[in-house]
Structure 1
Amino acid sequence: MKTTPKPPHSIEELMLRANNMAGLTLGQLADSHGLSTPVNLKRDKGWVGQLIEHELGAIAGSRPEQDFLHLGIELKTIPVDSKGKPMETTYVTVAPLVDIQGLTWENSVVCHKLQTVLWVPVQGERQIPVADRQIGTPILWTPNSDEIALLKQDWEEIMEFISLGQVQQLTARHGEVLQLRPKGANSRSVTQSIAKDGSTTMTNPRGFYLKTQFTQAILARFFG
């Protein structure tokens, strides 16, 4: 029988649930909710994150707000290798490509989402069967002034490209800690964006992602 945990009432309750998950395998956690574990994640890329969200009672889903809005906390699962290093970049949110006049870092979705993040490391190496992958110790992270400065600088540079109609010139190499990448089901997904002459044109949707060296530094700070 599937169970649906209620949202936690406090940060303490959230962290208790997150710490209680640590050491369990994904299969054990899925079984506890009457859910089946996929053989691989090729067709179920978001399954791990959804399972952890389910266990912790996250309620935002795909809406552009924090997963635990009432607590001011965003949830991010992060696949790590045997050395504890992140194996991929971390998706933050869809990038706005039109109607961005007056948008500042302080009122951006990226800033809002990254105010406080609950990181849940999960074994991600492909040779480990999905059901046997262990959940790691959670981290509650609030960016320090240096991290905020880096994020803000990258966000502002990326948004300047977008405002000048140069979104096509942006590659994953832009940005020190934050990057912009295509974000869609496939290359046929299109959305409006600003053209060089200020009108609108069509392009692939883009998303903001945290680079792995940034998330690795966060994990290293907590785990030494």
Structure 2
Amino acid sequence: MSDYLQLPQVPSHPPADEQQLLTRARALAGMPLGWLAEQAGWVTPDTLSRAKGWSGQLIELYLGASAGSRPEQDFPELGIELKTIPVNSSGTPLETTYVCIAPLLGLNGVSWQQSNVRNKLQKVLWVPLDGRREVKPADRCIGMPFLWQPAADEDALLRADWEEITERIILGQIQQITARHGQALQLRPKAANSKALTAAIGPEGDTIQTLPRGYYLKTDFTARILQRALQNSW
């Protein structure tokens, strides 16, 4: 592992500015997750199917993210969210990208500009990861990270999806919303088990109990983000 002797230590403080964040992130490019975990005193799971979020938490540790589980950006002082994205050998996303929990009540009068979806996506540090299942988690390497802000067309697409989904929630159609709705953004159940219920508006305007929902970016949308980043790096 002599190639990795220059690896920065786990920082004791959040990055002071955007440049320091990028410097920390780029220093991780090419690093195997298992080696990073070992240096941090972490145990690398044999499979990530039951350790969702483990790789993202490891990268957060090395970047000095401070938000934890709070509903704000991972780097609130910088207004930047961190998103890891598993890709195959061609750089194609292998799964949708979780954005945030979807509120199911109190949405009347809430605009796109006020939404947590927009807050989370206004500036994102994308960190590609080797997501191939045939590669052990310990041997999966980190790709080259990049900063992204939605272009006008991307913001318009996200806004249209969010507004359509929000209208359906307000109208009591939560049970009819499927992952097929939306071109860039989708709404899906987000719960540890079927007993974790939350309140929502029912079809008759009453309050019902349903599974919590989360917003996710579709793979076609994130694939275009990655493609643009690749083109801009040439």
Q: Same fold (TM over 0.5)?
A: yes
Partner of 1:88: 95
Partner of 2:129: 122
Partner of 2:81: 74
Per-residue deviation, 1:104 = 0.8
- The answer to whether structure 1 residue 150 and structure 2 residue 154 are counterparts is no
- The answer to whether structure 1 residue 177 and structure 2 residue 179 are counterparts is no
Per-residue deviation, 1:28 = 1.6
Percent of residue pairs bearing the same amino acid type: 57
8 Å Cα contact 2:31/2:141 also seen in 1:
yes
Partner of 1:64: 71
| 3-state DSSP of counterpart to 1:51 | helix
8 Å Cα contact 1:191/1:205 also seen in 2:
yes
TM-score computed with the length of structure 2 as normaliser = 0.93
Off by >4 Å, runs of 4+ in structure 1: none
| 3-state DSSP of counterpart to 1:45 | coil
- The answer to whether structure 1 residue 34 and structure 2 residue 34 are counterparts is no
8 Å Cα contact 2:10/2:62 also seen in 1:
no
8 Å Cα contact 1:179/1:210 also seen in 2:
yes
Per-residue deviation, 1:5 = 3.6
Q: Write the distance in 2 (CA, Å) between the matches of 1:46 and 1:121.
A: 14
Letter paired with 1:134? C
TM-score computed with the length of structure 1 as normaliser = 0.97
| 3-state DSSP of counterpart to 1:77 | strand
Q: Write the distance in 1 (CA, Å) between the matches of 2:137 and 2:62.
A: 17
Q: Write the distance in 2 (CA, Å) between the matches of 1:176 and 1:191.
A: 26
> Over aligned residue pairs, what C-alpha RMSD do you find?
1.2
Structure 1: gaps spanning 5 or more residues: none
Per-residue deviation, 1:36 = 1.6
| 161 and 116 in structure 1: CA distance in 2 versus 1, 3 angstrom threshold | same
- The answer to whether structure 1 residue 47 and structure 2 residue 44 are counterparts is no
Partner of 2:120: 113
Letter paired with 2:34? G
**Aligned residue pairs: how many?**
223
Q: Write the distance in 2 (CA, Å) between the matches of 1:217 and 1:43.
A: 28
Letter paired with 1:60? A
Q: Write the distance in 1 (CA, Å) between the matches of 2:42 and 2:12.
A: 13
1:91-106 paired onto structure 2 within 5 Å:
91-106=98-113
Q: Write the distance in 1 (CA, Å) between the matches of 2:215 and 2:18.
A: 26
8 Å Cα contact 1:72/1:116 also seen in 2:
yes
Q: Write the distance in 1 (CA, Å) between the matches of 2:171 and 2:106.
A: 13
Partner of 1:10: 17
Structure 2: gaps spanning 5 or more residues: 1-8
Deviates more, 1:190-199 or 1:9-18: 190-199
Question: How far does the alpha carbon of each residue in 1:20-52 deviate from its partner, in whole angstroms, 9 at most, with x for none?
Answer: 000111012112212121111122111001001
Letter paired with 1:68? F
Q: Write the distance in 2 (CA, Å) between the matches of 1:34 and 1:4.
A: 14
Structure 2 residue corresponding to 1:218, chosen from 216, 219, 225: 225
| 3-state DSSP of counterpart to 1:55 | helix
